Structures are given as structure tokens and as C-alpha cells.
A = this chain, B = another copy of it.
């Protein structure tokens, strides 16, 4: 039963990630400059943002060190168009793919117990009080986060 639960949770993540991935994949640097709505984020920024947020999940879920920590400054700390994009589209897409591969191959090995372990941003003490602050909660929250931005990405014609 646990196994089936986990299978469905991972399938849900894969579905939203692949949905946004299919949108980004065919676009070049220039096409990625489009904004999702007037005065709103460029697709390029959203790709960087999602890559940075997923990269942060590696330590947060206890999987390992980050692959692209330098992206945070540009795509999390600062708003769009305030800092120059440090990577061309092809390299950013490569990073996006690498980060997602690292994540998915690790979580596919998680046991049911692993999923219910605390994430690394919560203390032992707080976790004892709130056992829902676990890896599963982070994973579902980030699944919703991709879906949230996917809703914006599809607005670009």
C-alpha cells in the first residue's frame, strides 16, 4: 500500500515537470525572452527560477549537495530583469534537466520511511511537534510550485 501511494506521488511530479519541460524544450534564447503577461516574468526567468528551486531540493531532501547554487542570486533573490542571465538558454536547459534527473533518481529510491523523515530545514525539536514537516510535504509543495508556474508558461503564444 505504501508503495502505491508513493508511486502516485512521484507520477504526479513527473507529469507536471514534463508538462513544463515540453513547453521550454523547443524555445531558443530569443523565444524565452517573452513575458508571460505584460510586466511579468520572462519564460527565461521562470526556467531559471524552477531550476534553482529544484536544485535547492537536493540538500532539503537530504539527497546531496547542490549542483547550481549560483542561480539563486539571479532567479530567487532578485526579481526578473534586474540581473543579467548568467547562462545561455542551452546551458540553463541542461542544468534544468540535470537537477531534475538527480532529484527523481534519488526519490525513486526513497522507502516509505524515507518519505516521512524530516526535511533538513526543520529542527529535530520542531519536527517532533509537527511530523508533517517531512520530505513528502516538501515534494508535494514543489509539485504545486511547478504547476503554478506551468499555468503562467502556457499563456505565452
Interface residues of A (CB under 8 A from B): 1-2, 4-5, 7-9, 11-12, 15-16, 36-38, 40, 112-113, 115-116, 131-132, 134, 136-137, 140-141, 143-145, 147-152, 155
Contact = CB atoms under 8 A, between A and B. Distances in A.
Contacts of A113: 1
Contacts of A137: 8, 11-12
A21 to B, nearest CB: 15
A128 to B, nearest CB: 13
Contact of A1 (B7, B112, B143, B148): B112
- Main DSSP-derived SS at the A contact region: helix
Contacts of A145: 147
Contacts of A140: 8-9, 12, 140, 143
Contact of A2 (B2, B131, B143): B2
A115 B4 CA distance: 10
A141 B4 contact: no
- Of the candidates A4, A9, A144, the one having the most CB atoms from chain B within 10 angstroms of its own CB is A144
A11 B131 CA distance: 13
